[in-house]
């Protein structure tokens, strides 16, 4: 297990890396040091062939309660621009491996934006998530008006951002903001189980599927379909394609090598 004061990372034998936000005294509030430490952890895993899937989580009380407002209250626009804090969540979003956010407790503001930079969200039934920035005179600034709208549609995004009111995990799942809603105690176990399933799949196929879905969502349908076709064709150059198809024909479990 790699460890810093703010982030704990464990690379498991099943190809899953678990990254845990570790600022419990502040409900994992996202100060700049935590944002940078988190981005550094993700960047370090980008090219690690032993890591096939990543689970990002916090603790029972909070995934991440939002930005640390003590770092913002006296800042002006130039200082905020100089921080370029968007680069930290961009590092998470650019991770080639699939990333699962496992949410217990609070995921507010920047915490929800961080979760939306991931690929799957497993959320506890009583978790509380939202975009409350309007209540302190600002707005979401790291995906809360854009990724959120793409996930739940205009009207749900407007409601969350304009009222600032949180919703439960059950409500989040109902509006399409989570892939699974489960009892609170099952969040991490189910996220780890899903991650292990993904980690057993062909590495290049998983990464290219992720790329096609993410990039295709920002393109026209014709361009996205062309991206999908080229990605589909590219996978025929992998050894795992041959192994997977041969195993299916021979009625045995495939032994994917990741090549």
Bridge partners of residue 102, in order along the sequence:
57, 122
Cα–Cα dist 31/16, whole Å:
26
Coil, strand or helix at 124: strand
What's the pLDDT score for residue 256?
92
Kindly report, as residue ranges, where domains of CATH 1.10.12.10 are found in the chain: 203-249
Residue listed under structure tokens 């690690």: 48
Structure tokens at 141: 């600034």
- This prediction has a pTM of 0.94
Best CATH choice for the domain 2-199 from the list 3.30.465.10, 1.20.140.10, 3.90.226.10, 3.40.50.720? 3.90.226.10
pLDDT at 4: 56
Annotated catalytic residues are 67, 110, 113, 133
Q: What is the pLDDT along the chain (259 residues), one digit of tens a residue?
A: 455 589 999 999 999 999 999 999 999 999 999 999 999 999 999 999 999 999 999 999 999 998 877 777 777 888 878 877 788 899 999 999 999 999 999 999 999 999 999 999 999 999 999 999 999 999 999 899 999 999 999 999 999 999 999 999 999 999 999 999 999 999 999 999 999 999 999 999 999 999 999 999 989 999 999 999 999 999 999 999 999 999 999 999 999 988 8
Which CATH number is associated with domain 203-249? 1.10.12.10
What's the confidence (pLDDT) of residue 179?
A: 98
Report yes or no: 178 and 169 within 8 Å, Cβ to Cβ: yes
CB neighbour list of residue 150: distance below 8 Å, 6 or more residues apart: 217
* Residue limits of CATH 3.90.226.10 in the chain: 2-199
Tell me the sheet residues that pair with 57.
20, 102
């Amino acid at each position: 297990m790699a460890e810093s004061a703010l982030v704990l990372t464990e690379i498991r034998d099943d190809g899953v890396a678990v990254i845990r936000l570790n600022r419990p005294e502040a409900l994992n509030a996202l100060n700049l040091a935590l944002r940078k430490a988190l981005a550094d952890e993700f960047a370090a895993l980008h090219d690690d062939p032993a890591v096939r899937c990543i689970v990002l989580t916090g603790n029972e009380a909070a995934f991440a309660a939002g930005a640390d407002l003590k770092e913002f209250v006296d800042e002006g626009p130039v200082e905020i621009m100089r921080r370029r804090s968007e680069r930290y969540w961009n590092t998470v979003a650019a991770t080639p491996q699939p990333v699962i956010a496992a949410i217990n407790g609070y995921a507010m503001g920047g915490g929800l934006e961080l979760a939306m930079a991931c690929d799957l969200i497993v959320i506890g039934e009583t978790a509380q998530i939202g975009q409350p920035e309007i209540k302190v005179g600002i707005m979401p600034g790291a995906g809360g008006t854009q990724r959120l709208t793409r996930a739940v549609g205009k009207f749900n995004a407007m409601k969350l951002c304009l009222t600032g009111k949180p919703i439960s995990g059950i409500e989040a799942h109902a509006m399409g903001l989570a892939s699974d809603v489960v009892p609170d105690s099952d969040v991490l176990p189910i996220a780890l189980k899903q991650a292990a399933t993904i980690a057993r799949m062909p590495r290049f196929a998983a990464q290219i599927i992720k790329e096609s879905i993410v990039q295709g969502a920002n393109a026209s349908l014709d361009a996205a379909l062309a991206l999908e076709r080229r990605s589909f064709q590219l996978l025929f150059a992998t050894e795992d394609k041959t192994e997977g198809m041969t195993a299916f024909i021979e009625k045995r479990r495939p032994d994917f090598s990741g090549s």
